Amino acid sequence: MTRSLVFDGLQISNWNRETIEEIKRGQVNGIHATLAVWETPIEAIRNIADWNVLRNENPDLVSIACSADDIRSAADQDKVSVVLGFQNTSPFAQDYTLVEIFHQLGIRVAQLTYNIQNYVGGSCYDPQDSGLTRFGQRIVEEMNRVGMLIDLSHVGNKTSLEAIDASSRPVSITHANPLWFADTPRNKPDEVIDALVSRGGVIGACLYPNVIGGNSTSQDEFSAMVIKLVDKHGPEHVAIGSDMTRNWDQGYVNYLRDGRWKPAANASWPEWPSWFNSPEDFPKLADGLLKAGLSDSDLALVMGENWLNLFETSFSPLSELEGMATNNG
């Protein structure tokens, strides 16, 4: 019997040894880290190279995970696992063959769109959602083939529903909440969550201030939302994706919001709730869920095991997966 691990479905920080040590102090065994939001192919590759350097210089602390097994063995060695991901398909440019290239480089998750429409489909902030484009269908098919998990967190609802339908494998919402919890385009209507869950997907409840209704929201309210999600959709489909941002200067929030698609507005970082403002608050988060009535076994699923179970079947090539199915069946 393996011990249950804690895994955070999304963080986006200015990574260094210190930010990883915070995660370790928070007893978090692994995170899905964002390496690109607006990046072009070569910019994304350089961000991967930076992770290689960080791992090479901190072999005692950092492991880049390409599978659920990698995460479990790194945890046995007391290392923090990082699953590399993109919050945009901009690194694929208009070239489906770059999906396999980035899979070779360790990328295991990609969100179909960030905050504006792209070649693949519509974003949650677009007034008109194009739905999944022809290139988008190809990208979904190629991600399915090589073993790259589709993320719909910032994706428009129409595009999301069409992607769920097009995908032959379960998909994820790594960091968003239900719309009934906080009314923002970033949160998801029941229709999207239902469709995702019906295909075996996982949604990571998110702590970013903008998607919990602001930093005045209490921990009890957040915990109750998670438990309601578990009750509605089943404990195997709910997890955590904190969306934690660490160690950035003011300029980076402008980059996140505006990239270079418009002149940067004078954005500022939102203030996090007092009960969760660092990766070190993960144990507190778990305590709150327990206190609010989540069972021990469901807590283990929500705090990490659901991500690991999803990764188990998401990160290997379709051909190998079919091999497994044949061997088992």
Q: What residue ranges bind a copy of itself (CB under 8 A)?
A: 41-42, 45-46, 48-50, 52-53, 56, 95, 97-98, 100-101, 104-106
Report the distance separating Cα 181 and Cα 222, nearest Å.
9
- Identify which of residues 106 and 121 has a Cβ nearer to a copy of itself in the complex: 106
Quote the least distance from Cβ 307 to a copy of itself, whole Å.
Answer: 24
Query: Beta strands of 213-300 (E only): which ranges?
Result: 238-240
- Identify which of residues 46 and 284 has a Cβ nearer to a copy of itself in the complex: 46
- Identify which of residues 35 and 164 has a Cβ nearer to a copy of itself in the complex: 35
Quote the least distance from Cβ 46 to a copy of itself, whole Å.
Answer: 7
Quote the least distance from Cβ 327 to a copy of itself, whole Å.
Answer: 19
Torsion angle, CA of 254/259/261/262, rounded to 10 degrees? 10
**Residue 162, SS3 per DSSP:** helix
Report the distance separating Cα 34 and Cα 225, nearest Å.
25
Tokens read off for 243: 């969306």
Which of 210, 323, 320, 219 lies closest to 271, judged by CA? Answer: 210
Which runs of consecutive H residues, i.e. helices, occur in 174-281? 190-198, 219-233, 250-258
Quote the least distance from Cβ 95 to a copy of itself, whole Å.
Answer: 7
Tokens read off for 304: 């990490």
Tokens read off for 277: 């403002």
- Identify which of residues 99 and 207 has a Cβ nearer to a copy of itself in the complex: 99
- Identify which of residues 42 and 325 has a Cβ nearer to a copy of itself in the complex: 42
Quote the least distance from Cβ 268 to a copy of itself, whole Å.
Answer: 33
- Identify which of residues 107 and 193 has a Cβ nearer to a copy of itself in the complex: 107
Give the DSSP H or E segment for 107. strand 107-111
Report the distance separating Cα 209 and Cα 163, nearest Å.
27
Question: Within 10 Å of residue 271's Cβ, how many Cβ atoms?
Answer: 11
Quote the least distance from Cβ 222 to a copy of itself, whole Å.
Answer: 39
